[in-house]
Amino acid sequence: MGIGNTMRGDDALGPLIIDKLYEKLSTIDKNTDNIYLLNAATAPENHTIEVRKIQPSHIIIVDAVEFDAQDGTFLIIDKNQIDTFNFSTHSMPLSFLINYIEEYIHSQIMTIGIKPKDMTRVNTVSAEIEESMNELVDYIVGII
């Protein structure tokens, strides 16, 4: 599940990772029928019905997250600490979505934050974020 606003520079990294995963997965020689890619844009809570229908065993959430680190740094965020991080463009705290999914869908969830560099209103991501996105996509495809 990629979360972010494609009109806000590096905040677009979640949806862009979904696009990159789709491109990579469509070219590999592995069965990917059990993988569902979801661009949740800026309102992941609007996709709960879709997630309920799919009933995934595991969900990886990727989003831009402000934290004290070098731009493009990855961070796996513990669900108990999720409210201490600044997720940029959400209308609802991400912890609400995670709690809902865990309680009603029983999926195991991993949240990966990537430190953005520039979230001004442009249609491009910074070079550091592009490199981090490619690294994460390669890692995810490698463990499939």
- What pLDDT is attached to residue 62? 96
- What pLDDT is attached to residue 80? 85
- What pLDDT is attached to residue 42? 92
pLDDT tens digits for range 31-70: 899 999 999 999 999 999 999 999 999 999 999 999 999 9
Model confidence, pTM: 0.92
Task: Identify the residue with better confidence: 97 or 18.
Answer: 18
| pLDDT for 86 beyond 80 | no
List domains and CATH numbers for the chain: 2-143 (3.40.50.1450)
Backbone angles phi, psi at 97, to 5 degrees: -60, -45
